[in-house]
Structure 1
Amino acid sequence: MLRLFAIILAGLLASAPAQAQSAGDAQIRQLRLQVRQSMQAARDAQQAAAKAQSEVSAAQAEKADIAASLDKAESARGALASRVRALQAERKQLEARVAKLEADLAAERDAGQQTRAKLDAQTRARARAEADGARQGAALRTCRVHNGELAGAADDLLHAYEAKGIFSVLGEAEPFTGIGRVRLENLIETYRDKVDAAREPAGGPADPS
């Protein structure tokens, strides 16, 4: 465009007559001014167009960056949603596991209480049995003492009667037959056997306690 204005200006200058040079100087200056203004306007327009093109390019690049950022954000949102779903499923599994553990713990606690109650009952029963055994042992020892005392008293009584001379008295009462003496000896032997049978053996049974 600038070149075109220069050609037009040169043509005008070449065709102007010599006598009109003074009058045409003003026109030439006016044309030059117009040409300069046109050239400046053209340069301004080119600069504005270049600037606009640069801004368009920058806007397109920014748009592309924004689109890429949106794509990344959408991808991240999808990944986050998947992670949230996975965490929710894991939470449900953990809640189910905790519920099962609590149920197992409650069952074990009940079983422990039942076992403790059984052990307490067994302990009380054992204590009663030990107390009964102690009482029975004491009673058995007392019976042994009494048995020994009774056996000793019976022996003493038999020996006393023998020493008293019952045999001789009865023998004198029946000097010919001696039936009373034989009967008394048999009676003494019978009672001695009963005393020996009732006597506690030397070893004796073990105490229940």
Structure 2
Amino acid sequence: MQTAMGVWRWRRNPLRRPTDLFEAWVAFAALVCVLLVAPAIGCAAGLQLDGTLQRAAVEQRHERHLVPAVVVRQAAESAGRASVDTSAQQNAPSRTPIVASWTAPDGSSHEGTVPAAEEPPRPGDRFRIWTDAHGRLVGQPLDPSAAAFHAGVAGLASALGAAALVETVRRLVVRRLMHRRYIRLDRAWAAAGPDWGRAGAGS
């Protein structure tokens, strides 16, 4: 609002310089971009990313399957580590690696090393893991709510980035204008300085 009033105030002011009016219009245009263009960019970026992530979440839900698995034994490296320092293993943030067996959606049998679902793991315990249709281990599918959250954060970051870019351009333009003003002032002072205060010099 102050920027808009500044533009209006300088519109017919007899003391205004061309650069004053140009600076006011630059500030007004920057304000419009920050209030309207930047949010539009953020909204468009967020919606675009949300659509992409939601499609990826749907595809992952169709391609990944939660299948039952059975604990066979602890993995060799896990057993060796437990014999050395059991208390450290219990306090470790990562889960114990175990050897488990499972049946893929296509009917094939598999066995491999996976993190234990519960501590301590016991042979015969049952848990579930995510695999593809052929039994290969995969990560958990992307949750739609998590996808929407990430898209919202990305949209907000895009809006803030656009606003920061606009403000940076405005500051560069104002700095350039100020530099030109100082150059003109130095030239005017150099021309009038020798005669300043001299009688009959018109000062």
* TM-score, normalised relative to structure 2: 0.31
Q: 1 or 2 for the larger relative contact order (CA 8 Å, sep ≥6)? A: 2
Larger radius of gyration: 1
More strand by share: 2
